[in-house]
Structure 1
Amino acid sequence: MMARTTTLLFCLLLSSALLLTGTAHAEDVSGTLCVSAYEDANRSTTRESGEKTLVDIHISLLNDAKVIVANHILTDELPYCFRGLPPAAYYIQIGSPQYESVEATPISLTVTAGVEMTREFPAALRPAILTSTESILYLPATVPVRLALSALGAALAMGLFAGAGLVLYGVLFHRRGMNWQELEDAPHEESEVLSPVEDDLPVLTRVQRASPRPTPAAEDDSESESFGSQYDVPK
């Protein structure tokens, strides 16, 4: 009985030792990096009294190859912690539409196994004068902004189509009016029946054609032909 009790106690102690060793080993293989940002108005890179903690700052965590492995936006004044990081060299990049990093980015950091590192990053307001291209680049891509941009694009497209339709209609209407005017101005023939003075004379039909009036010289040359061209004598 005593031997069995001793064996059970030995097994319990051995199991506890193995569990504690495994837990300690698991905690030692990874590290933690906690980050926050503050407003560095004078760009001194040293936090002074009265400089507030910033929110709505975008934090990017990059590995040693400068490839982004995690992102986070600071929503409160407490530091945000990237946990479970393998010990290695990392880079931090911060920014927002209103603020930019005072330090040259990306900022290099080293994560050590079993160590929780906390780092505050200085940020300052961006220059007040921005070009139109920079304003577009730093425009927050929120849902209301996207909807407004979509509505503006649709309105511009409708305006362009409406303007093109009005121009096309004006061109076609003007051409149609010119065609009607050409038909009205086209030469046409008029006939007039001339009654004979005497009963035994034939009835003559005078055909008038709208044509340009001949010049005096041409009128003398064609006087002999005008009667035949203006009067049709029935047989």
Structure 2
Amino acid sequence: MIEADYTIELAVPVEKVWEYVEKIPNWAPFVIGFQKLELVDERRSVWTLRGDVGILTREVDIQADITVWEPLRRAEFTITGITERLSGRGTFDLYAMDGAASEAGPTSEAAPPPAPAAPRRDGPLRRLRFAVARFLLRRLNRRAKATPDAAAPAPAAGAGAVEAGTGGGSRLVFHLEVAPGGPMAPMIELLMAPMIEPAAQDFLRDVRAALEGGRDAVGTP
């Protein structure tokens, strides 16, 4: 099982964040290796992803099902591989808060205020792995953006940048668990593990950029 947790704070009220996040086409292109999205119904969607690393060395179709939907507060979902043996789950938690937005970084608890993070070993090898992972993530995003069939679907009504309101800030917490299957699962986990946390960081940073400034953050250094 590969896991990632990341929290980010935004200078945008909860209502505006939820209005943006609940429309999947708004942020789907920020997902690593994004190719296309099919909205089956209000609870189910099918994603096509592609890249150069691990399970993303070819196009992969993944089904996402929303299992919990609490407007302005929480969403939970499961993921199931269609063309690959893959399973997982994830959550979005949204909280109202006061004060200016600032990056919160990874947390171990998905509730405000964040609990103090346990000490982490951040040696040279770990830093190198994350540096390589970040480079690969940017490369994948740039390639997906440049590929003709990687165009994002037409935005839903109300999609696009959302200006910060006057109702205070908000905190968005993202959690993801992924479990590759099959005989190659241990090798796939080894390849994907150092990429999951940077991917979560870049994903939420892109969401924040779109909400706060209306700028395209995909592929930026």
- TM-score, length-normalised on structure 2? 0.22
Higher helix share: 1
- Bigger relative contact order (CA 8 A; separation at least 6): 2
TM-score (norm 1): 0.21
Larger radius of gyration: 1
